[in-house]
Every structure is written in C-alpha cells, then in structure tokens.
Chain A
Amino acid sequence: MFEYAPAPESRSVVDLKPSYGLFVDGDFVDPADGGTFKTVNPSSEEVLAEVAEAGAQDVDRAVRAARQAYERVWGPMPGRDRAKYLFRIARIIQERSRELAVLESLDNGKPIRESRDVDLPLVAAHFFYYAGWADKLEHAGFGANPRPLGVAAQVIPWNFPLLMLAWKIAPALAAGNTVVLKPAETTPLTALLFAEICQQADLPAGVVNIVTGAGDTGRVLVEHPGVDKVAFTGSTEVGRAIARAVAGTRKKLTLELGGKAANIVFDDAPVDQAVEGIVTGIFFNQGHVCCAGSRLLIQENVADRVLESLKRRMARLRVGDPLDKNTDIGAINSAAQLARIRELSDAGSAEGAERWSPPCELPERGFWFAPTIFTGVTQAHRIAREEIFGPVLSVLTFRTPAEAVEKANNTPYGLSAGIWTDKGSRILWMADRLRAGVVWANTFNKFDPTSPFGGYKESGYGREGGRHGLEGYLNV
C-alpha cells in the first residue's frame, strides 16, 4: 500500500474539562453521592475526563425537573415556539460541528472522516427535520389533536453517541415531551457538550436533562414511575429486560436493538459497486453498527470473483488514528467490546470457518481489531447467528433467490438487509420477502432524517425518523 503523509485533525478546537457534572434542570450539578467514572480515548487509552455517575436520587431529580418543565413550560408552549428552539439547536450544532466531530472521534474512536461527514450532518439535519414538525402535528396523520406523552426516558448506545441523541431528543421535543437521556458510559462527552448547546440556545430549564452513568443508571431511569415513555437503543438482551420492566405500566415503549443483516450479492451485480457496498456495510464505524451487513451472502457462481475483489479492497483500508483524515477504520470503542469481538472471532475459527485479514499494523496502545472476513461459514456457526458488533464479516453462499431469502431470514433479528443485482424485478421480489425494517438495494448503510428506521422481530419495535418517528412520542 502506498503511504499517505499523516493528516491529523487538530484537537485544539475541543475544550475538554477535567470533570463533568450531570445536566439537570438547566444546570450542571454534582451527583448526590459524589460517584464518578472516567471516560477514555479508545485509540490511546488516555483518560479524557471524569464524569458524574448518576444514582437513584439524581435520576429522580432529573425526572422531577423534566415533569415540571413539561407541565409548566414545554407542554403548554405553542408548537411554533418549540419549533424555533429546535431550529436554534440545529443551527448551533452546524456552527459548532467541527468541535462536536472531533470530540466524538476522541471519545468514541470513530474516524474523523465519518464523524465529520456522516454523524454531524445527520445530527443537524435530524433536529432541522423534527423542528418543522413541532407546529404541524395535527397534519401528521395521528388524528386532529395528537398529544405528547409527558416525560421520556431515553437510553442510547455508544456507537453513534450524538446521532442517537438526536434520534431520541429531536422527535421527543418536537412532539411536546421533555426528556431525561442517559448516554453510554464509554461515550458521554458529546451529550454533555449538547447540554451546553441547550444552554446556549436558551432552551427552558428541565426540558432536556442528561444523566451519565452505566447500566444501573439506565435501569433506574426506565423503571422510574414518573416517566411516561421509554426509548432504548442497544442490545436485544437489555431490550428484553426493559420490555419486562415496563410490563403493566402506562409507559409507551420503543426499542431499537441488535441485528445480523444479510447483504446479498447476485451474480449479475456490478462487482466493484457491490464490493464498495460490502465494505461500507461491515467496516463503516468499525462494524459498531446495529444494521451492519455482517452476513455476506454471495451467489455461488461469483463467490470467488467477489471475494478476490473484496480482499484486494480490504488490503487498502487504513486502520489507525481516528483523528487522521485518511483513516478508514478507527479504534474499537472499549476493551470490553474488543474482548467480545475477539471471543466471537476465535469461536469462528474454532468452529471451522476460515479467517482472513489483510496485513495490517495496529497501534500498540488503544483497542484495535483488523478488518476480518470468515469464509466457509455455515448457518449454524456462532459468527453467523450472533451479533459481533465489530469489523468482522461472515461469508456464506447461495444458489437461488429463494435460498437467499431463506438464509437471510434465518435469524431472530430483522433490522436491515442489502440486495445487489441489476434486475429491478428481482430487487422488488426480494424486498417483499426479506423480514427487515430497512432494505438497501444497490446501496448500504444510508440514513436520512425523513426515512423511518427500525426492526422486525427481535430487532425491536417502533420507528425512528420520518413521520413514523413521531408516533412513539405521541399519545396515539
């Protein structure tokens, strides 16, 4: 591979504080019991900041603040005024997008090229999109007088920290709810910078509350009797626990959970385009993507040709410093996630699949995993059934479209799927039969605020994005 000169993005645009409090009722406050945890840069293991760990008392305080803001300010406020606050937030995100992108890459480990060109534009667009709904809810198709639910408890993952925040907060606020949001414990920093943006936008106190912490904080939040709505993005296992916890309550629940998407390549697909789509499908964001195309299904008669081209392409992926503008694959988000990826990959080898990675120098410090494919995978292998959530692709083959559908649907998940073929009628035939919430045909991993996103089966329920995304936050 030819060399590029290093092209690091400056981190001077980010003003990191040594410690962060909780954002409750418009102010940063210390947690009641004084607990803290550290958030590290996964590409260097450098401690970035100390962050407050919210306990039950803190969560209670945040829910009360949200309730008060809902009853006194945000609920009664005309939609056109809520819209203006959301437009204001969207604009500040655009204005401070470089700062947010660099901070996201520092805390998450994702390449700056992705945080700058994908995450941040989508975050701003999401607020911009839902801002426009705030004063048009009666035209959204949910009846003449759709009402908000009240206080929304929102728990988000670490793979797209700020984007998941936007997916949660923008529709909630547009519909007239107030929120208490818990970011993931490994990536709290952009949510806390977002809290500053709320202050800068003069958003009324208590409308947005951010409580940082780990799983216990999230559990206390979703189980709090004062919340009317629970929205969760994360693992299917935790999603199940939340569905049990809200049983018998009034809480409306939406869940966006795991996936094991099939990316299906037919023999008439343009190979170069399909290979780009395969790479985007599994190596985008280090494979930390719930809708990643983690099962590649290739039609048998072109399998060798596609794999040869894929390997050639993979040898040109640059793994390294997330802040380098040439980096394709950044750091794995945490030591725990790296251990999970290693464990499943070892299981892939142990169960008899053939493992391949391009020659690839990984940095000494930090959490890294080379882009990897497994061939000779069967449907019974763990790497074909379990979500790896890393840059690891399992390759299977098929002969007929019916077999492709059968294999693609042979999973408890149903979040997304990909189809690569030049034949239009086959795309539509396949799309009808794939049990998945998003089907990308001759493209993959595309997102837009107007486009509903969410799963079938054990990938969860409810949709985020688009007109559909309002439904989870309205009393309909």
Chain B
Amino acid sequence: MSERVAVRKTYKLFIGGKFPRSESGRSYLVQDANVSLASRKDARDAVVAARAAVKGWAGATAYNRGQILYRVAEMLEGRREQFVALGVPGDEVDAAVDRWVWYAGWSDKLPQVYGGANPVAGPYFNLSAPEPTGVVAVVAPESPALLGLVSVIAPAIVTGNTVVVATSPTQPLAAVTLAEVLATSDLPGGVVNLLTGRISETVPALAAHMDVNAIDLTGVADAELAIELEVKAAQNLKRVLRPAPADHDWSADPGITRMTTLLETKTVWHPKGV
C-alpha cells in the first residue's frame, strides 16, 4: 500500500475575519512554508477592516469581550499539539493560554480600577472612565513567537481596540495558526488582523496611516527603524508604546501599562440639583 500524501496548509493573511492571500500575489519561504508577503496595500486594507470593527467591538459589553477572550483560551488549549508541531515549546503554549485567561478577566475590571468618581469641589457628578483609543498597529516581538504575539494582542483588544499586527517575520506560522484559533472563537472579524512579511515594508505604512490611533513598537529591534516609526506616528499624534528591551521577560506579570497606554480617559460632568 502506498503512503498517504499529506494535505499541506496554505499560510495566508488574516484580514477582516477572512484568510486572503497578499493582494501582491507574493510569498516568502520561511519555516519550510510559503507564507504570504504582505504589501502596503494589504496593510491599508487591514486598517479599513480594523476600523470597521471598532464600533461593534468597542460597543460590546465588557462581559461579552471577556467571554470571547476566554473562548480564545479554550480554543488555543484544544490546539496545543498543533503549536507544538510547529516548534512552539509546550510550556510556551500553556503560558499563552494562561495569558488569554488573565486578560479575559480584565475586561470588566479595568474600567473600575482605572476610572472612578472624582470628588470635585462643587455640586457636580463627575466620573472618569477609560475608553478604547480605536485602531492599534502592533509590531509583535520576533520571539517567543506565540507568547509574545498573545502578550501584545490581548491587552490591546480586551478593552475594545482593534489591531493590525505585523507578525514575527522569522516565525510567522504560529501567528497564522493563532488566526485560526481567533476565527473559531466568536471574535468578530476585523478585531484582529495579521500581516505576515517584512516589518520594514508594512509597518511604516501603518505608522503613517492617519486612521490608526496608536502604535505598539514592541517588536521593533532596529533602533533606527523605531525612531523612523515614532516620527511618522507623530503626524496624527498616535499613542506610542516604545520597543521592548531585547531581554524582556515575557513570562513575568505584564502589569496594566500595555492596556492603559491604549486607552483614553473620558470625564463627564453634570450638575446636581432639583
């Protein structure tokens, strides 16, 4: 009997809840696979998808967002072996699952921890509450491929932002596989968009994009490129998370700064009276 011929997977982009090839028709060989080489046009298309998703995702209840993030953890747990087969260490997959669970719980707590009533000196109701900033461009760390990626996506979306992520150029397969997890987790299309390819090609377009509200430069290892991107981001005063140091410990407690940097605080006043 002849050996069965395996059905190979085509690794594509993840934009607006769909898996398109790059509009440029290009791919690059990495991790023994032909992976889509995203273009600037793909980046712009991803921003359009992310913008379209903001209203529904930011407008969803915090409870609902928390449930969906927890569902992502469930789906990821079930695909543990698939990630291990791609070379992701088992304990990294476990840590990535746990990170989704940790962030899932923040959805309906951060507004309480980070907002609240202000005791103004007058007869006014005065309340500050955080809101998502909108569309966030994210440069995922080169490594760890899965935990690093989850650690930058989850804090951005848990509060209601949508993201366009430039994935690790050298280890994109974990990212595309995570997209399959996200696509089966009730996460609305467009909340997370993933671009595989060269950071130097897609990210400058995102940094300069006038409909992007914030940029997370965590994965930018090239100091010159980081400066160029931060300068571009200033054009519409994007909120900026600067690059993480090379020795950043991704297993440590993440804290809340990743979430709060991508939030706006809105303060509402109203007089009290009869």
Judge whether A451 and B120 touch: CB under 8 Å: yes
Any B CB within 8 A of the CB of A100: no
- Sample of 11 more A-B contacts, CB < 8 Å, known A427-B270, A451-B128, A463-B265: A247-B234, A431-B266, A438-B267, A439-B267, A439-B269, A443-B270, A448-B121, A450-B121, A452-B118, A457-B237, A458-B236
A to B CB contacts below 8 Å, 7 in the list = A141-B113, A435-B264, A437-B264, A446-B269, A450-B120, A452-B128, A471-B260
Partner pick for B266 among A240, A436, A461, CB 8 A cutoff: A436
Given the complex, which residues of B lie within 8 Å of A257, measured CB to CB?
A: 237
- Residue ID in chain B nearest A434 by CB atoms: B266
- Count chain B residues whose beta carbon lies closer than 8 angstroms to a beta carbon of A: 35
The answer to whether the Cβ of B226 comes within 8 Å of any Cβ in the partner chain is yes
Which of the residues A248, A412, A450, A454 comes within 8 Å of B236, measured between beta carbons?
A412
Which residues of chain A in 187-209 are interfacial with respect to chain B, using CB atoms and an 8 Å cutoff?
Answer: none
Partner of A439, one of B120, B124, B268: B268
Chain B residues with Cβ under 8 A from A463's Cβ? 265
A125 contacts chain B at the CB level, 8 A cutoff: yes
Chain A residues in the interface with B (C-beta under 8 A): 125, 141, 143, 236, 239-240, 243-244, 247-248, 255, 257, 412, 414, 427, 431, 435-443, 446, 448, 450-454, 456-458, 460-461, 463, 466-468, 471, 476
Residues of B with Cβ closer than 8 Å to A? 113-114, 116, 118-122, 124, 126, 128, 133, 213, 223, 226-227, 230-231, 233-237, 239, 255, 257, 260, 264-271
Q: Is the CB of B265 within 8 A of A431?
A: no
CB-CB under 8 A from B121, the residues of chain A are: 125, 448, 450
Contact between A453 and B267 (Cβ–Cβ < 8 Å)? yes
The answer to whether B124 and A446 have CB atoms under 8 Å apart is: yes
Assess whether B269 is in contact with A243, with CB atoms less than 8 Å apart: no
Contact B128 A243 (CB under 8 A): no
- Which residues of chain A are within 8 angstroms of B116 by Cβ–Cβ distance? 467
Q: A244-B231, A476-B257 are in contact. Are A236 and B237 (CB under 8 A)?
A: yes
A466 to B188 alpha-carbon distance, docked (Å): 36
Nearest CB in chain A to that of B117: its residue: A450
Establish whether residues A247 and B122, one from each chain, have CB atoms under 8 Å apart when the complex forms. Answer: no
Which residues from chain A contact B230 at a C-beta distance below 8 Å?
243-244, 247-248
Q: Which residues of the partner chain A approach B236 to less than 8 Å between Cβ atoms?
A: 412, 457-458
Closest to B273 in A: A442
Which residue from A243, A450, A452, A460 sits with its C-beta under 8 Å from B265?
A452
Most buried by A among B113, B114, B122, B270: B270
Tell whether, in the assembled complex, residue B118 and residue A451 are in contact, meaning their CB atoms are under 8 Å apart.
Answer: yes
Report the separation of the CA atoms of residues A457 and B212 in the bound assembly, to the nearest whole angstrom: 10
Q: Given A431-B266, A442-B271, A248–B118 Cβ distance below 8 Å?
A: no
- Once bound together, how far apart are the Cα atoms of A239 and B233, in whole Å? 12
Query: In the bound complex, how far is the Cα of B112 from the Cα of A141, in angstroms?
Result: 11
Instruction: Tell me which residues across on chain B come within 8 A of A454, comparing CB atoms.
Output: 265
Enumerate chain A residues within 8 angstroms of B128, measured Cβ to Cβ: 451-452, 466, 468
Quick one: which of B122, B126, B227, B237 contacts A461, CB cutoff 8 A? B237
Closest partner residue, chain A, to B223 (CB atom): A248
CA–CA, A236 and B234, complex, Å: 10
Taken together as a complex, chains A and B put the C-alpha atoms of A247 and B133 apart, in Å, by 20
Residues on B with C-beta less than 8 A from A452 are 118, 128, 265, 267
> In the complex, A435→B226 CA distance in Å?
29
Q: Complex Cα distance A390/B230, Å?
A: 33
CA distance A220 to B90 in the complex (A): 52
Q: Which 7 A-B pairs have the closest CB atoms?
A: A248-B227, A247-B230, A243-B234, A448-B120, A450-B118, A441-B270, A244-B234
Q: Answer whether A437 and B271 are a contact pair too, CB < 8 Å, given A248-B230, A448-B122.
A: no
A residues less than 8 Å from B239 (CB atoms): 461
Task: Find chain B residues with CB under 8 A from A460 CB.
Answer: 237
A453 to B267 alpha-carbon distance, docked (Å): 7
- Neighbouring B residues of A471 by C-beta, 8 Å: 260
- Check B269 against A451 for contact (C-beta < 8 Å): yes
CB <8 Å contact, A248 and B226: yes
Complexed CA–CA distance, A457 and B133 (Å): 8
Question: Once the chains bind, are A442 and B237 in contact (CB under 8 Å)?
Answer: no
Measured between beta carbons, the chain B residues less than 8 angstroms from A414 are 264
State A435–B233 Cα separation when bound (angstroms): 20
CA distance in complex: A20, B122 (Å): 38
Is the CB–CB distance between B271 and A458 below 8 Å?
Answer: no
Give the shortest distance, in Å, between A314 (CB) and chain B (any CB).
Answer: 23
Chain A nearest Cβ from B84, distance in angstroms: 35
A125 to B119, CA, bound (A): 13
Contact assessment for A243 and B267 in the assembled complex, using a CB-CB cutoff below 8 Å? no
B164 to chain A, nearest CB (A): 18
Most chain B C-beta atoms within 10 Å of own C-beta, residue among A239, A456, A467: A456
CA distance A442 to B122 in the complex (A): 14
Residue of B nearest to A121 (CB): B121
* Neighbouring B residues of A431 by C-beta, 8 Å: 266, 268
- Tell me whether B266 and A451 are in contact (CB under 8 A): no
> Out of B113, B133, B269, which one reaches A440, CB within 8 Å?
B269
Taken together as a complex, chains A and B put the C-alpha atoms of A441 and B267 apart, in Å, by 11
Q: Is the Cβ of B268 less than 8 Å from the Cβ of A441?
A: yes
For residue A437, give the distance in angstroms from its CB to the closest CB of chain B: 6
In the bound complex, residues from chain B placing their C-beta under 8 Å from that of A438 are 266-269
Rounded to whole Å, the gap between the CB of A13 and the closest CB of chain B is 26
Asked if residues B118 and A240 are in contact (CB atoms below 8 Å), the reply is: no
Q: Which of these, B227, B265, B269, contacts A441 with CB under 8 Å?
A: B269
Complex interface: chain A residues within 8 A of B124 (CB): 443, 446
Q: Which of B113, B223, B267, B271 contacts A451 (CB 8 A)?
A: B267
Please state if B237 and A458 are interface contacts (CB–CB under 8 Å).
Answer: yes
A417 CB, nearest partner CB in chain B, Å: 10
Known: A448-B118, A466-B118. A239 touches B237 (CB 8 A): yes
A436 vs B268: C-alpha distance in the bound complex, in angstroms? 10
Nearest residue in B to A451 (C-beta to C-beta)?
Answer: B118
**Is B126's CB under 8 angstroms from A240's CB?**
no
Residue of A nearest to B120 (CB): A448
Which residue of the partner chain A has the closest CB to B116? Answer: A467
Q: Please report the C-alpha to C-alpha distance between residue A443 and residue B268 in the assembled complex, in whole angstroms.
A: 10
